[in-house]
Structure 1
């Protein structure tokens, strides 16, 4: 069959895979299972043990994997709100640097002793396994209602730690002898990559604000092009391209851009497509016949990682930030692995490192096991530690262009059971100037609230706020939710008074995070309200 004749078949199979994967997101949300497992399963089903498609091109798989990671990081940076991650900046940077170094050392030494690996190969295993995955983490975390500092820490870690881990894997996979200059080289590449990404992000934002492009859809394309340009430029200058991509996207996502929400929606869709393609590709690449031999070393490596390396690395990274033990436990358990370690494991395989194929197989097995064990139990751990909450403010997209023009946001808050918002009159909310409660949805019916309207449990509140009043509006809603109409008299202003670690005391003498909750955008096409709670 000629290639042109095979095109309809290939397009049809590709479209079918994407549709099945999109539907799988809904299924995985209902059963509490990370969707990446379903994507990997689709790839395995299409592979040589399923439909018989054989794909074993290591170099192509690695190249496509890195390209997908660039787009996923761009989506992560564009959708990250600086107000959310700023309180967690120090912890996030420490988790992506200090914790990575500790994790590599502990895992490497343990596997050298337990599996009898060569010391350099053992450290290579540790480097590959030290990277957490944003897609895996937030597919589980997005509905837990965690405090802002926890979410910000994990978000920064998953966005920043790919860069140092990538450099460590490349160094350990090379045949060159390691010297004391190599750590300095890693620091140089990270610093230069971060600075270059930030500079290109600012230049890109400046240019997009002043460009009069003839079509709205060109702005998202130009924004993504700046992020990809940051990766390419950094790589050509021997800097960290992954870090340059994330920092450029972070700067762009928090700049005043034309059609910013439409750009975020486009990047989110492209990020989903990249995740789907990457996981399916990796499932297609792995041979199930070899996985049985990798189960024992994978379980040993997983036990070392979960029980020793991750907890010790979290303690080392957070020692100077007065993080409560509950949050440290959760950070240790929330270090999920996804596609990134599998992609990183392909680097030594491409370089011909002895035992690299065993590493790839073990990492694949380990990712599946950890996602099943940690991913499904993470909500229970959050509730057991008293960190999960039902009250959170979410951003919903109605019509990106008018809201951008008006410099306004539309927020939604569902009043949870037991909230002290129950019974509060609308006039007693006392939202700041520039913010107003515009609609209440109760028992499926909506109405425009008046000053004498009373809020009830289960109500969905829609608040229109200017950009400048948004933070104050969220703080006021949180304070009334906790302390009722007399929140200000009780000293509850929605922040975290009196505690430097961003938490407040609970009745049992412990502490609970009260940083602003992560404001997220549900998926939408830019023309409607989107889908809530996905």
Structure 2
């Protein structure tokens, strides 16, 4: 019992630790989790999943994958398909059969597998699971359309790949019982239809019960979780491996009902999914038997090359031929196809079943599946960013600032940010208030930033910071609270007091971080605008000299934003004071008479789009 507790703690530490290191370094999280599992498992023997968990390992992994797929289905917005130009339909209806055929040919002629095993393994190879695709997309700056296509393909194809393997296995198993291929296929398609209907029915039931108060708030997340597990198990009882399809349909249906009850569940399911993905990936990596790797032949290496450079690109390019997807995006989609947890789990399951049917390639499939996972993770994880940049299909990548509220001060802030080369968009519900920004060529968004349509009309991926600057402090707090889960609580800021004893003041938990260390409010910045305060920028050459000059600034102004050499943004607030280093640029808000004395250059005028002079000793 003590050893099992140690293993569980170690799995959590390695999985979440790998995610944290990936966040800090920019390295692919899936690659780090793979390495962590290999070190803790085959290399050191600290984790032996099959011995530690015994018969519980397979059902535990299966349930975890079911929850992961359900979470992925919840994130699939059907309205995204309108922007995919039919690519997802093509990749499913054309790409899956085509990839299955090409993969089977590669398995037989290149890897040397016998035809039945080659066909079964090729069916599994059509998956590009969300356990690996979503972390890659989260850490990259791929443009919105290829990002949506890759996400949809990964989540939709996961259960389809499992069904392809089930179809092949059932045909092989029933070959000796006298059943024809058509009969086997019809029965499996019927089971898949039942699974899809079951998932949809459970989603509709939840969609009816939750808004009507049949489930108390504190039980909604547990009820949904138990419903997912129950649906998965019930569907698998009807036909093995159809549970993945059922929970995927359930997630997509529930996620597109726009239930207010799901808002509180989303954070819970995202946290759970991160834990499950990390834990399952570490466990499966640790379960790899190094002895099995000795079966790896040179022709398997050629098979990996064929899979990466021939099968996947040909599948995507042929499927999207004649579509409206630009060829640059097709090339990116054709290259990115990492495999992960679902493929390993399904392959391991069917490897045992193939051995029972008398096929001797079961152990070979395990080694080959891990080789495919490792090679695709490394190849795609480390190249998705550079390749997207090379093809020019990248989004701004979270280096911009979204300013909510069009005022005289927010327009001055936008001018200063643009002068520093930072992308900025001003949002407001009033077309008239946005007129000055439009006249100066500042990007604007006209509409309610809190509306559901905003996600479709405004690509939030391009923003790394949000600044709420409207005249309503409570509305600013509401905006920050709404976008904190997506942008991060450290990246949403508002004008307002940093501290105070006024009982009418909103609690800190409901507010964004205060802009400026002194927490200037809306009236404060408006008064300073009238008094001639302006924005200035300083390029840091000597940190000590800048610190000396900054000490002479007024207490209620001073540094506002730090632009680092790598383009990342940090804001000065009452809660955090980033430390500038050589080559960084600091944006300040100061009285105009302090600028010349310090050697800084004002960025207030609309035509001043050049950077500030460097501070010298």
TM-score bracket for this pair, using the shorter chain length: 0.7 to 0.9
| Distance (Å, rounded) in 2 between the aligned partners of 1:337 and 1:388 | 23
Give the unaligned 5+ runs of structure 1. Answer: 1-5, 397-412, 438-449, 479-518
1:83 aligns with 2:85: no
**Structure 1 residues 238 and 418, CA, compared in 2 at 3 Å: closer, same or farther?**
farther
**Residue aligning to 1:410:** none
2:30 maps to what in 1?
36
Q: Please name the residue that 2:474 is paired with.
A: none
In structure 2, C-alpha distance between the alignment counterparts of 1:175 and 1:468, rounded to whole Å: 49
Q: What does residue range 90-239 of structure 1 map to in structure 2 within 5 Å? A: 90-173=86-169, 174-177=172-175, 179-211=181-213, 213-214=215-216, 216-238=217-239
Aligned 8 A contact 1:74 1:267 in 2: no
How far apart in 2 are the matches of 1:27 and 1:270?
19
Query: What is the CA-CA distance between 1:210 and the residue it aligns to?
Result: 1.0
The number of aligned residues is 451
Q: Give the equivalent residue in structure 1 for 2:592.
A: none
Say what the alpha-carbon RMSD is for the aligned residues: 4.2
Shift in alpha-carbon separation, 1:274–1:475, aligned structure 2, 3 A: closer
Q: What is the DSSP-based 3-state SS (H/G/I as helix, E as strand, rest coil) of the residue aligned with 1:88?
A: coil
C-alpha separation between the residues in 2 aligned to 1:394 and 1:217?
Answer: 37
1:279 to 278, 281, 287: 281
Cα distance in 1 between the residues matched to 2:397 and 2:430: 20
Rounded to whole Å, the distance in 2 between the matches of 1:370 and 1:521 is 28
Determine if contact 1:84/1:148 at 8 Å carries over to the other structure.
no
CA distance, structure 1, for counterparts of residue 132 and residue 461 of structure 2: 30
Deviation at 1:451, TM superposition (A): 7.2
- CA change 1:198–1:312 in 2 (3 A) is same
Match of 2:378 among 360, 372, 377: 372
Corresponding residue SS for 2:257: coil
Summarize the Cα distance change of 1:452–1:380 in structure 2 as closer, same or farther, 3 Å threshold.
closer
- Encode CA deviations 1:214-255: one digit per residue, 9 max, x unaligned: 4x4421122223333332333334383212211211222232
Give the Cα separation in 2 of the matches to 1:63 and 1:39. 21
Contact 2:429/2:447 (CA < 8 Å) preserved in 1? no
Partner of 2:390: 384
Residue correspondence of structure 1 range 281-430 to structure 2 within 5 A: 281-294=283-296, 296-319=298-321, 321-351=323-353, 352=355, 353-390=359-396
Query: Residues 428 and 446 of structure 2 are in contact (CA less than 8 Å); yes or no, is this contact kept in structure 1?
Result: no
Residues 167-208 of structure 1: CA deviation (Å, up to 9, x unaligned): 221233343226134444444344433333223212211111
Q: Which has the larger radius of gyration?
A: 2
Residue 522 and residue 301 in structure 1: after superposition, are their counterparts in 2 closer, same or farther (change >3 A)? Answer: farther
1:10-53 C-alpha deviation (Å, 9 max, x unpaired): 33442343134223212123444322233233333333541354
Q: Which moved more, 1:183-192 or 1:145-154?
A: 183-192
3-state SS of the aligned residue for 1:294?
Answer: coil
Partner of 1:481: none
Q: 1:246 to 1:530 in 2, by over 3 A?
A: farther
Q: 1:226 to 1:418 in 2, by over 3 A?
A: farther
Aligned-residue offset at 1:287: 1.1
1:10 aligns with 2:8: no
List per-residue Cα deviations over 1:436-462 (Å, max 9, x = no partner): 99xxxxxxxxxxxx97899999x9999
Aligned equivalents of 1:348 and 1:468: distance in 2? 43
Tell me which moved more, 83-92 or 193-202.
Answer: 83-92
For residues 399 and 239 of structure 2, the distance between their equivalents in structure 1, rounded to whole angstroms, comes to: 42
Please give the alpha-carbon distance, in whole angstroms, between the structure 2 residues aligned to 1:311 and 1:284.
31
Change in Cα spacing, 1:472 to 1:70, as seen in structure 2 (3 Å) is: closer
Of residues 19-28 and 262-271 in structure 1, the stretch that sits farther from structure 2 once superposed is 19-28
The secondary structure found in structure 2 opposite 1:521 is helix
- Counterpart of 1:521? 486
Cα shift at 1:75 = 1.3
TM-score (norm 2): 0.63
Distance, in Å, in 2 between the alignment partners of 1:529 and 1:278 is 36
Q: 1:89–1:153: 8 Å Cα contact kept in structure 2?
A: no
Determine which of 460, 465, 484 is the counterpart of 2:449.
465
Structure with more contact order per residue of length (Cα contacts < 8 Å, sep ≥ 6):
1
- What's the TM-score, normalizing by structure 1? 0.72
How far does residue 388 in structure 1 lie from its aligned partner after superposition? 0.4
Q: CA deviation at 1:258?
A: 4.0
Q: CA deviation at 1:419?
A: 11
Write the distance in 1 (CA, Å) between the matches of 2:424 and 2:278.
45
Asked if the contact 2:84–2:149 (Cα under 8 Å) also holds between the matched residues in 1, the reply is yes
Distance 2:157 2:203 in 1: 20
